[in-house]
Amino acid sequence: MPEEGVPLTPKADLLTTEEILTLARLFVKEGVDKIRLTGGEPLIRPDVVNIVAQLRQLEGLRTIGITTNGINLARLLPQLQKAGLSAINISLDTLVPAKFEFIVRRKGFHKVMEGIHKAIELGYSPVKVNCVVMRGLNEDELLDFVALTKGLPLDVRFIEYMPFDGNKWNFKKMVSYKEMLDTLRQRWPELEKLPEEESSTAKAFKIPGFQGQVSFITSMSEHFCGTCNRLRITADGNLKVCLFGNSEVSLRDHLRAGASEEELLSIIGTAVGRKKRQHAGMFNISQMKNRPMILIELFLTLQDSPPAVLSISFRDSLHVQGLRHRVSRSHQMVTLWEGGGVPQTPLLAQWWLGAGLPQRHYSSHPDSDANPKCLSPEPQAPATPSGPLPASGQLTHVDTEGRAAMVDVGGKPDTERVAVASAVVLLGPVAFRLVQENQLKKGDALVVAQLAGVQAAKLTSQLIPLCHHVALSHVQVRLELDSARQAVVIEASCRARGPTGVEMEALTSAAVAALTLYDMCKAVSRDIVLEEIKLISKTGGQRGDFRRT
């Protein structure tokens, strides 16, 4: 949802129930065999169950689908299933509750999870989950989304970020299909491609042994215009023959003017006949004037398969969010989903570990087996390596002539790398009390610092010039209040499989989390001290393991 919201279409301009059904009958008569109700959000229409029931009566219509944000799905799905709904797509761009709220501008993450589980419970298989992937927003959650398919009959569909009015599209923020596929294959090299269905918009893959599958919708990097057979009608009755085209024809106006069926078919045929062989390409599209995505797909999508009399042509339903710079990584929902649980409150809202009020703890991984005490406040002994750590006669990031140089890791083997780092923020009595009671005017300092730490870990190579980019498989940031020192103790853990270690990612995560706490509290006190930023342990790599004792 754009930050400024979207203009609401006056009710009089929207297609009525009867107008929707009239157009549906016309298209089904001409060979369309699948209709998808989409949005915006179709489940806010009070007549949506009735529309599905009426569509079900159309002879020749084989599939009635819906694309929804999922917030009202659990409540309405039993009625919709009884009415005849046969396919479900749920738009979900993140598995992190706090990030979800930032994207959609409202709470409701747990309702979406409940809706997905309700769909599985009622026998829908697969349940399609649409995820628009954007660099700097959620590309770090790819592995977590895929992990959901291990125990659940989901088709997780990764969609390339596409340009529309208001979403501030930028090529650098688009993550291509091949880049996503490479990331998945690093974790699951056994990933296998499935045969492509006729006129499918998605490239499907499956991990052997997993219940569900993964798909990619490659609208930007590898368009599928030549086999596309989709047509879209907006909520206000305009016909679009291409999602990326800016030309529209008002079927509503012709309907209300009393056009006959033959006249409507002629108008539709003319519009479809003007459909271009392929869209203009991502860079030209980004300069075109077009509706915001949330206003393009406001209710009805029709699709024929195989191409029918009108040769109508369109794309599957997508739900693209306006881009904002957001944070965090999610491993937590994987555990919850595999256990079949549905969170009843936002997971990052408040986790009280221990017996009493003085101890507030935050962790980006609630199922950790670690001791609730992140770190001991007691003085620590000097660090000692726990494995071979050969001495080096020179700095590794300097060449023979003394110039800065990035280490070549091309010949190193891929191994599992884990690193843990810590930091301490001495707040002082006033700031400590406000953080403990969650009374800061800026908001919950522990949640914000936790998210900042996760974001920093994945951006380390952009902050530290000679660091290699690492595809992190897991990030965990834990924060604990230490009332004895009036401090917050931070522990950051990073994991990846690759040729280089992740200690810089862990250190950057802890340091940025500490800086964020300072920023959250500086209006209350400037007498805040950041200290003890240090590596606690690292495992993996040729130089052996290290553990601070």
Contact residues for 436 (Cβ-Cβ < 8 A; gap 6+): 357, 358, 360, 481, 483
- What pLDDT is recorded for position 162? 66
Annotate 291-324 with b (16+ C-beta within 10 A) or e (fewer): bbbbbbbbbbbbbbbeebebebbbbbbbbbbbbb
Phi, psi of 88, deg, nearest 5? -135, 130
- What pLDDT is recorded for position 190? 96
Contact residues for 485 (Cβ-Cβ < 8 A; gap 6+): 377, 424, 426
- What pLDDT is recorded for position 277? 62
Tell me: pLDDT of 48 over 80.
yes
Task: For residues 394-420, give the mean pLDDT.
Answer: 73
- What pLDDT is recorded for position 404? 66
- What pLDDT is recorded for position 488? 94
Residue 525 token pair: 């006190």
Q: Which residue blocks in 89-155 are alpha helix, DSSP H?
A: 97-104, 109-121, 142-147
Residue with more model confidence, 383 or 435:
435
Task: For residues 423-429, give the mean pLDDT.
Answer: 94
Task: For residues 41-46, give the mean pLDDT.
Answer: 92
Task: For residues 324-330, give the mean pLDDT.
Answer: 31
| Cα 389 → chain centroid | 40
Residue 394 token pair: 């020179």
| Cα 527 → chain centroid | 39
In degrees, rounded to 5, the angle at the alpha carbon of residue 492 between the alpha carbons of residues 395 and 370 is 125
What's the whole-model pTM score?
A: 0.54
> How do residues 137-174 score in pLDDT, each as one tens digit?
899 999 999 999 999 999 999 998 765 444 454 556 78
Give the single-character DSSP code of 150. G
Computed on alpha carbons and rounded to an integer, the radius of gyration of the chain in Å comes to 26
- What pLDDT is recorded for position 252? 92
Contact residues for 544 (Cβ-Cβ < 8 A; gap 6+): 385, 386, 387, 388, 389
Q: What is d(CA 156, CA 179) in angstroms, rounded to the nearest whole number? A: 16
Q: What is d(CA 493, CA 477) in angstroms, rounded to the nearest whole number? A: 6
By residue count, the chain amounts to 549
Is residue 325 packed enough to be buried (19+ CB in 10 Å), middle (13-18) or exposed (0-12)? exposed
Q: What is d(CA 413, CA 149) in angstroms, rounded to the nearest whole number? A: 29
The strand pairing partners of 64, in sequence order, are 35
- What pLDDT is recorded for position 74? 97
Tell me: pLDDT of 483 over 60.
yes
Residue 272 token pair: 């479809």
Contact residues for 242 (Cβ-Cβ < 8 A; gap 6+): 225, 275, 276, 279, 313, 314, 315
Residue 83 token pair: 């009415």
- What pLDDT is recorded for position 296? 39
Task: For residues 50-58, give the mean pLDDT.
Answer: 97
Residue 475 token pair: 């990030």
Task: For residues 293-300, give the mean pLDDT.
Answer: 41
Residue type, 277: R
- What pLDDT is recorded for position 531? 92
Task: For residues 529-549, give the mean pLDDT.
Answer: 88
Across the chain, what does the average pLDDT equal?
Answer: 77
Task: For residues 1-21, give the mean pLDDT.
Answer: 83
Task: For residues 111-118, give the mean pLDDT.
Answer: 96
Phi, psi of 334, deg, nearest 5? -60, -45
So which residues are the catalytic ones?
A: 519
Phi, psi of 432, deg, nearest 5? -60, -45
| Cα 9 → chain centroid | 28
Tell me: pLDDT of 295 over 60.
no
Phi, psi of 159, deg, nearest 5? -110, 130
- What pLDDT is recorded for position 53? 97
Q: What is d(CA 475, CA 496) in angstroms, rounded to the nearest whole number? A: 9
Task: For residues 475-480, give the mean pLDDT.
Answer: 92
CB atoms within 10 A of CB 204: 17
CB atoms within 10 A of CB 372: 13
Q: Out of 98-112, 198-212, 338-352, 383-397, pick the least confident.
A: 338-352
Q: Which of 499, 444, 509 is nearest to 474 (CA)?
A: 509
Tell me: pLDDT of 246 over 50.
yes
Task: For residues 381-386, give the mean pLDDT.
Answer: 46
Q: Out of 14-28, 73-87, 171-185, 517-531, pick the least confident.
A: 171-185
Residue 505 token pair: 């990612």
Contact residues for 394 (Cβ-Cβ < 8 A; gap 6+): none
Tell me: pLDDT of 77 over 90.
yes
- What pLDDT is recorded for position 140? 93
Q: What is d(CA 36, CA 25) in angstroms, rounded to the nearest whole number? A: 14
Q: Where is mean pLDDT largest: 339-348, 355-364, 427-436, 462-471?
A: 427-436
Percent of the chain with pLDDT over 90: 44
Is residue 472 within 8 Å of 494, Cβ to Cβ?
A: yes
- What pLDDT is recorded for position 86? 97
Residue with more model confidence, 297 or 2:
2
- What pLDDT is recorded for position 274? 73
